[in-house]
Amino acid sequence: MSNEIEQEHLKTRYSKVFYRRSDCEHQSRYIHKYYLPQQLRKIIFPADIDGISNCFYEDCDFGLLHGGIPEHVPDCVIKYWDLEMEKRLDGKMVRQVLLAIAAYYTDDRAELTPEENQAAMNLNTWLGEWEKDLLNRCIQVSTDMERQVRSGNSWLSDYEIDMETEFYVRDDDACSDDNMPDGSRDDIDCHIGLLCTMKYLEHLPLFKKPEDDGHWYIGDGQNHNDRPRGSRDDEIYNTSHCATFHELFSHMHMPVKHAGRIGQIHTDIIVRHQNGFRIDLKGERAVAVRDEERIRKECVLCDDLTQKNYEFLRHVFQNPESIGLTLDSDGFANTAALIEKAGKAGTHLTHKMINDVIFSCYGKRFVASGFGSTIRCCTSVQEAEKILCMNEPHQ
């Protein structure tokens, strides 16, 4: 190679990345934890690995895919878009990162030993059964939360369910706490044995029953193996994959070769109870309305008692003097006073009974406000919807 070509070859490379959100976050994180020399883990960030990979991936002279990293490599400047900062890495340090990336690709593309293939097959089978139990539990949690929302709970207006699954190495793994007691000091997760964290979000059709149309994810019994059959000789690449196995090795970028490293799996189901109101500040006082569109559209037909209470409430709001009830200037009645006056007039009511009316197929004329402390009967469904269709509050 002539001096002129070599000088061109060793010109500083530049790459722009997001420090907080790298494009290949999971892959770079895995390389950072298990392939990068420990002394570099406080200097090199996963985003830097992304940037260096972008600089050299398509350059055949640097052999990322076949491991032939040359002795001399150029410096690299990483520009962090979100921080408006940059970092220069010298060629020796860049070379060590390239060697780590190349070692990862070598493992990711390597043929599996019989033991590695069997470990992957065992994991895929076990995860398939584990998913079924997890899905049933998620359905139970989601059903219970939906029931609370639809019951007219005076506080709960919505909910979200998140789920996180953490995969840890075996106790006899080289990177376990026992074998690398100081490893977590330089680790990005502060736990060297944490292989990866998988997050499932509720916006996916995660909590539908398996027999429901459109269910596609954990516990669906479908084949998530998107590799062309015959592309690899190993048995694990030519069999059906459950959703979690696919996520783990295709999206979290853990090499299938490392399936046998997994020794512990921990799952957290996180339920967020949410409270939201639509609020109108134009009248003499603030009117806050707790309502969810799906409750009014998807509510079940109510029973005879609810229908009877609905008819009673409509009569009372048309003729409040019939039980000695007083309405304010906006047409709202104090709920506690309504219950008390109704009881004295011979009709037993409770807050739950009133909520049953509001959130039933008969309740579209009713609007509750003030955290359920007041209630109003509108002259038409359109009037009620006009109140309910104001801007959503900030969640």
Residues with Cβ within 8 Å of 166's Cβ and at least 6 positions away in sequence, in order, are 194, 196, 197, 198, 265, 266, 267
Q: CA-to-CA distance for 170 and 194, rounded, in angstroms?
A: 10
Least trusted range by pLDDT, from 54-63, 190-199, 214-223: 54-63
From CA 328, how far away is CA 325, in angstroms rounded? 10
Most confident of 35-49, 57-71, 211-225, 228-242: 35-49
SS3 content of the chain, % helix, strand, coil (to 5): 40, 15, 40
Q: Indicate the pLDDT class of residue 363, thresholds 50, 70 and 90.
A: low
Q: Structure tokens of 352?
A: 């739950």
In a 10 Å sphere around its CB, with 0-12 CB exposed, 13-18 middle and 19+ buried, how is residue 321 labelled?
exposed
Sign of CA dihedral 188, 193, 196, 200: negative
Most confident listed range (34-43, 53-62, 65-74, 133-142): 34-43
Q: Where are the domains of the chain?
A: 3-109, 114-274, 278-388
Please check the confidence at residue 377 and state whether its pLDDT lies above 70: yes
Burial of 190 (0-12, 13-18, 19+ CB in 10 A): exposed
Instruction: Give CA–CA dist 73/64, Å, rounded.
Output: 12
pLDDT for the residue 394: 30
The architecture CATH gives domain 278-388: Orthogonal Bundle (1.10)
d(CA 316, CA 332): 12
Our measurement of the distance from residue 237's CA atom to the centroid of its chain's CA atoms, rounded to an integer in Å, reads 28
Question: Is the pLDDT reported for residue 304 higher than 50?
Answer: yes
The pLDDT value recorded for residue 248 is: 92
- For residues 89 and 172, give the distance between their C-alpha atoms in angstroms, rounded to a whole number: 35
Q: The whole model's pTM is what?
A: 0.67
How far apart are alpha carbons 227 and 229 in whole angstroms? 6
56-69 tens-digit pLDDT: 876 655 555 566 77
pLDDT, greater one: 122 or 160: 122
Residue 237 has pLDDT above 80, yes or no: yes
pLDDT in tens, 334-354: 999 999 999 999 999 988 788
Comparing 157 with 161, which gets the higher pLDDT?
Answer: 161
pLDDT over 80 at 222, yes or no? yes
Choose among 40, 66, 380: nearest CA to 186.
Answer: 40
Q: What is the pLDDT of residues 83-139, one digit of tens each?
A: 889 999 999 999 999 999 989 989 998 899 999 999 999 999 999 999 888 887 887
Using the predicted structure, report yes or no on whether residue 202 has a pLDDT greater than 60: no
What average pLDDT is seen over the chain?
Answer: 79
Report whether 99 contacts 69 (CB < 8 A). yes
